[in-house]
Amino acid sequence: MEFGMDQIRAKIQAYCAYQERCHAEVRDKLYGWGLPTATVDQLCAELVNDNFLNEERFAQAYASGKFRMKKWGWRKIEAGLKSKKVSAYCIKKARQEIDPDEYLAVLVQIMDQKAQKLKAKNGFERGIKLAHYLIGRGYETDLVWDALRERGHV
């Protein structure tokens, strides 16, 4: 069943209105519908002009959501944005959405929760396990080790 341009436009607008989308997701969706490059480019331009598609807004929502809901560190958030082909400018703007004091407080909270559950032979082993866990969650290595030292985990 073939769709007309108006139906395709309405479907992609609904797709973008449902939640924030990046350009790559929208382009992949349109290509998945078998549309030619010229049509995809035209529709993307219309979506940007009509404010259905805004990469800066997407990056900010993505960073904020991943940090507040999943408690990801900045390195993991940045890798996720890069995998979605978000521009360096938008990634920089998204980083400003996360308050540094809140970021550090969440890191310490996660560290303390994990430390209570860890079984380790000694303090050094506990520190290593905590560091691996936190770095895996996307927190910066130097920040992790500083927090571990301050809380007496190493």
Q: What percent of the chain has pLDDT over 90?
A: 85
What does the alpha-carbon distance between residue 129 and residue 111 come to, in Å, rounded to a whole number? Answer: 10
Query: Position 8: which residue type?
Result: I
Tokens of 94: 């998204």
> What is the C-alpha separation between 50 and 16, in angstroms, rounded?
11
Q: Is the dihedral of CA 147, 150, 152, 154 positive or negative?
A: positive
22-48: pLDDT as tens digits: 999 999 999 999 999 999 999 999 999
Q: Say yes or no to pLDDT of 152 above 90.
A: no
- Residue range 91-126, pLDDT digits in tens: 999 999 899 999 999 999 999 999 889 887 787 888
